[in-house]
Structure formats: C-alpha cells, structure tokens
Amino acid sequence: MKKIITIGIIAMMLVACNNNTSSQPENEDKSNNQTQVENQEPAPDDEQAPEEDEKEEEVKDPFMITLGDLDIDLNAIVPQETLDQLNIVELRTLRNAIYARYGYDFETVRYKNYFLTQDWYQPTSKDVNDQITVIDQRNVRYIQKAAVAYERQAAAYLIPVVKSVGPDRVWAYINYGGQVILDYQYLEADEYRDGVAVINVDGKYGIIDMLGNYIIEPTYDSIKYISDATYHYSLEVGGAYESGLLDLYGNTYPSDTYINHAKGSQGLYLVEDRTSQKFGYVDFMNQEVIPAIYERAGIFVDGLAPVVNADKLLGYIDSSGQVVIPFKYTPDEGMIDENEFSHGLAKVVLEGNTLYIDAIDDIKINIGPHPGSKFSDGLAHYYKDGQVTVIEPSSLVRYTFDFTYVSDYHNGFAVATLGDLDGSEYGLIDAYGRFVSDQVYKADFNHESSPNSHWTQFDGYSARLLDAQGNLVVVTTEGQQIWIEE
C-alpha cells in the first residue's frame, strides 16, 4: 500500500555537516546562528555508519514524502536532480524522515514536535540501525553531500545592519568580513537563530534562511522567536486579532484563553491567562500543561523553572508542575530570567544575600549582599565596592576589575565599561577581562536603529556599538571594525 507523508514546504534549522555518514539522526545546536551538528542524536559513542550491505533488497512499495512540489520515494535512491531542487532545511527534513519512519525517538525538540503531528509517526526506539536498509544508507550519504554543496553557497555567519534610505531605515545582512550578503531590503531584521531570521517586508513579518529564501512568507503582523523552532505570532484575521504559536512549517496554534509570551524552552512555553493574569505553561500546540496559577514565571532549564507564588516568594517546579525547590527565596527585582538555571546553578536571594543553588537546593556559592548575574558561558559576575568580580561555577574568581558594567559572556567575550553607565564608553573584553583592542565605543541605548539596550546587541561574535562620532558600527571579537553605518 502506498504511504503518503505530506510535509509541505518545511523549515528546519541550518546545520553544518561533515562528510561522515551518521548512523543516527542529527542533533542540532541552537545557541546561535553558527550552526553545528553532532553525528548522532544521541548515541552511546561516536560510531560510524555501518558499511553498505551489497546484498540485493526486496522490492518494496513506495514510501512517499512530499517536499514542496516534489514527491520523493524513500524506498528508492533519491535522484541527484531531485536533491538539487531542495534547500538546506528540506534536505535536513528528508534525512530525518528516513529515521522517523522507523520510529526513531527524537530528543531534539524541534524534530519531536514536528513528527508527532504526523499520524504515521510512532516513537519507539533510540536505535533503529537494524531497520536501516542499503537504500537508506545511500540516501543519507547523498543527502549529506547535497547539504554540503548547498551550505557552501551560504555565509556561515550573518549580522543585521542598517542604513538610511530616504526617510526610511533599511536593514541588510553582512558576513564576518563586512561584505553585504543580503542587500538592504528589510524594514526590520532580527539576528539569525537556528539558521533562520525574522524579517519585516512592507510592514509584514516573515522568516528567511541564510540565502534569503522565505521559510515563512511575510504575511504576519508580528513574529517573535521563542525557542525550539517555535515563534509567537499575531495576525488580523477577518477583522479580529489572533495570536498564538507558530512553527517553521507554517502551522499556527492560536488561543482564546491565553496570551502567549515569547518565552519558552524544552517544549514548554510561557502563557498568561487573559482573565486572571497569572502564568502557566503550554505545549507547542498551545495546549495547557501546567495551569496558570503563578504571579511570575520563567523558562525551564535542565527540567526546572522559577515561579513566584501568591505570597511573592520564589520557588522551582519541574515539567509536571511539581514543586521541587520550596517557595522561600526573594524573586529578582528585574526579569525573573535571572533566576533561571544555567550551568547547573540558579541565582537566588535569601535574607538579602545572593546565593547560587543547585537542583537539589544546596547552596554552592554565597557572595553576600551584592548584586550578581546568573551564569552565562560558564561565568557570572557581581558588583562590590565599585568593582566587578567574575566567577566560575566552582566559585573560583576569574578576575576583579574596576568595571562599572559587564554584560553576560557569550563565546568567551563580553561588553564592559570603565565609565559612568549613562553615556559611557564601552569595549569588548575576553574571559579574563582584557580589552580586545584599544578602541572604545559608546553604548547604543538611544540609537533609533537599535531599540534594545546595547548588551542585547552582542551575540558572542560581534557587537553593535556607536563610535565617537555616533555612527553605528559592528566590531568583531578580534577588535576589528567590519562595518560602519552609511
């Protein structure tokens, strides 16, 4: 019997691949737009794919998958001319469908979410090697080769930049060498995440890949990235306002009960009850998982999320809604994000002292009555007597300098200042507090092209700051200025 899998025009994250053929589906790193791949998802060791068995296989009924306008039979060798017509996200989808058809149980949330919407998919095993055929092995190899060829056309790293065109501010994307890759054509341009970026064209929002191809056509009134290839969207439909969750396949999941906030992780997304204004969690299809009973709530990290109860005390729950760490801490005065776990530790305040606790509520670090940050890139910092001290999760002090501000670290770099925070001068520092160049820049607090504060403009590879003349510039972590606003 012919089996049909309709996937449509699909978008998965861009993934850098190697020439080795994996014996399991890939696992994607979603930390930034520098995409990576592990050969297995996950496997006990880094085994290579088994050698192709040259025995003749029985003829099987077609197992069809539809990608865009192409119908592809996975029980036959996929022709090269077919692979040449697929973009990178479609190639990755095709590769993972080979394993999904045998019931591979994905850990990567984006894959699990998608395949669970297919009625043919039944996750049953972490190892489906014994079901992989010679044709499957060859198709995986050919798909990976096609993906390598495709990715060579795309820049490995793209940075959004802006310039004035008449009365408008128009955005483009440059590469790490300062070359314009996607020309000035967007009214807004977000940073790349998972190999795709949200853009605004003629007042409508869509999503593009790193070649500028539309993954989601610009038809939405707003799109904001959350996590795990899931977005918050809003759209006017028939004169009524609709909002909810959007995936990279174009599926939308609106809700009349909840307001979706652009926050979530590990398959659970933060929502606010429209009536009670309390917070809870839904799954990727906007179905309630944890009731909205909390005053404030953060995202799940390592299976735990910070929540604030009716007594204004902070505690932690697991993904089933059970209280794991009791309500006894003072919530962060700013964003509750600061109380989320990172590198196995969460920053909390108890009786005026800043503590770092582990998942079983043991105190690992006590920095006393001093404001501090959560761990990022393996480092946290706190302020004391006009200085910044940076520490490791072991509590080892990395350095203490006379900075008045240090951003979170990303890929071993941060933005720091020695001056007054308002209108101060900034530079890029490494993991030991050393400036990567002698050039200093001004914070981009009020620049009309950058509505967010300056530290959100540092992604671990480059920073968008203002030079002494007030021009927007892009500076790399090597201290090179690769772009200046025209």
Q: Do 136 and 50 contact (CB within 8 A), yes or no?
A: no
d(CA 456, CA 374): 15
Provide the 8-state DSSP code for 111. H
Element (H, E) at 110: helix 109-115
Phi and psi, residue 245, nearest 5°: -105, 145
pTM of the model: 0.75
**Burial (0-12, 13-18, 19+ Cβ within 10 Å), 334:** exposed
Q: What is the pLDDT of residue 442?
A: 65
What sign for the dihedral angle of Cα 142, 145, 147, 150? Answer: negative
Q: Do 170 and 162 contact (CB within 8 A), yes or no?
A: yes
* pLDDT tens for each residue of the chain, 486 residues long: 434 444 443 333 333 333 444 556 765 433 344 333 333 343 323 233 444 555 455 657 788 888 778 899 989 999 999 998 887 778 888 899 999 999 999 988 888 888 888 888 999 999 999 999 999 999 999 999 988 887 776 666 788 988 888 888 899 999 888 889 999 999 999 988 877 899 999 999 999 988 898 989 999 999 999 988 899 999 998 888 899 999 988 889 999 899 888 888 888 999 999 999 999 999 999 999 999 999 999 999 999 999 999 999 999 999 999 999 999 999 887 679 899 999 999 999 999 999 999 999 999 999 999 999 999 999 999 999 888 999 999 999 999 988 888 888 888 888 888 765 455 677 788 889 888 877 767 655 443 433 333 333 566 667 777 776 777 788 877 777 888 876
Which of 284, 276, 202, 279 minimizes the C-alpha distance to 247?
284
Q: Tokens 């530079």 — which residue?
A: 427
Q: What is the pLDDT of residue 110?
A: 81
Q: Do 131 and 71 contact (CB within 8 A), yes or no?
A: no
Cα 286-287-288 angle, rounded to 5 deg: 115
DSSP letter string over 296-342?
A: EE---BTTEEEEE-TTS-EEEEETTS-EEEEEEEBPPSS-GGGGS-B
Mind listing the domains of the chain with CATH numbers?
3-151 (no CATH), 301-398 (2.40.128.630), 403-486 (2.40.10)
Q: What is the pLDDT of residue 44?
A: 28
Q: Do 74 and 139 contact (CB within 8 A), yes or no?
A: yes
Q: Which amino acid belongs to residue 26?
A: E
d(CA 375, CA 469): 34
And the tokens for 222?
Answer: 């707003």
What sections of 152-194 are H helices per DSSP? none
Q: What is the pLDDT of residue 260?
A: 84
Q: What is the pLDDT of residue 415?
A: 83
d(CA 307, CA 293): 10
Q: What is the pLDDT of residue 459?
A: 63
**Burial (0-12, 13-18, 19+ Cβ within 10 Å), 86:** buried
